[in-house]
Amino acid sequence: MSGAKLYSLRMRASREGRHLSGGERIVREELLPQTVTDLLARARSKPLQPDQVVVTLDAIARENVRSIRSLDLLAVETAGTAASRSLAASLLSRAGVSERAAEAALDALARGPAASGGNMRGAVILDARSAARLEPDQERGIRASRFDWSDDAAVQAGQELERLGLGHFRTREALALASKAALAPGMVAELCWSDDPDYTAGYLAVPGLGYVRFPQMKEPGIATGGRVFFVDRSAWDPAAFQEFLQRTPVLITAVGSFRAVQDAEALLRQ
Ligand code: AMP
């Protein structure tokens, strides 16, 4: 992506004020029309049609773009939802998250994390010790944006994910988001599963460990999910955290190591 101008594109689709889907891209100028078309197609691909789609385009100063390496990816197999959540809770504990905060996060995603009980368009921020909710708006949450793979890294990551049977575009996108989020100042871990009833996979991302991908974080047909960012409040400044997640442009130009983990429990001994 050297030379040409870069743009951040953000898409939000909603219906009657409720968030349906979103997308974040950073692309070269000549890819703008195609990317807008792709984002619009995504907004309209769900059974429930949006009545509003907002696409925001911002020019990005190339010198402000931070180049990073993606998190390593560890694909685990578990016996199902309960086993996945239990392993995620143990890994959270190893990362310094209290039992109370881990339970609060798992409960919030299972119930629907918005204050009103539904899904959010962004993430919950949770104090990794006290489990206090810290996001400024508990209906909407905080949305990470301005991140993407560079052209070369996208191809390489795509091939490596394919090799592990993880060719779904969602994995690549989620890994990009988690790789940026892991660098936010004060971030301890991120827990996610989708609110799409047909997509049961989820992950736990821990700086220093990687992106641990679980094929089943919820039962098929369940339409609640979301994201939780656990933060260490002693090293956390709300403004700096938000500024980094929402505004700092990040391109992933190097790909971490991706592997299947046969013995998931071994992660607890690492
Ligand atoms: P998805 O993986 O796209 O199904 O998203 C699952 C949930 O994660 C959504 O319901 C949002 O609550 C949250 N989410 C999605 N995109 C973002 C983002 N860019 N930043 C923060 N949270 C997000």
pLDDT digits (tens, 9 = 90+) for 163-194: 999 999 999 999 999 999 999 999 999 999 99
**What is the number of the ligand 1 atom nearest to the C-alpha of 122?**
22
- CB distance 195 to ligand 1 below 6 Å: yes
- Which pLDDT score, from 0 to 100, does residue 123 have? 98
E-strand stretches of the chain? 6-15, 18-28, 52-60, 66-69, 73-76, 124-127, 147-149, 187-193, 202-206, 210-214, 226-231, 250-254, 258-261
The arithmetic mean of pLDDT across residues 93-119, rounded, is 96
Ranking 85-94, 220-229, 257-266 by mean pLDDT, the lowest is 257-266
Distance from C-alpha of 203 to C-alpha of 78, rounded to nearest angstrom: 12
Structure tokens at 148: 């993407």
- Which pLDDT score, from 0 to 100, does residue 253 have? 98
pTM: 0.96
Average pLDDT score over the chain = 95
To which H or E segment does residue 93 belong? helix 81-94
- CB distance 194 to ligand 1 below 6 Å: yes
- Which pLDDT score, from 0 to 100, does residue 1 have? 56
Residue nearest to atom 15 of ligand 1 (CA): 122
Residue nearest to atom 10 of ligand 1 (CA): 226
- Which pLDDT score, from 0 to 100, does residue 108 have? 98
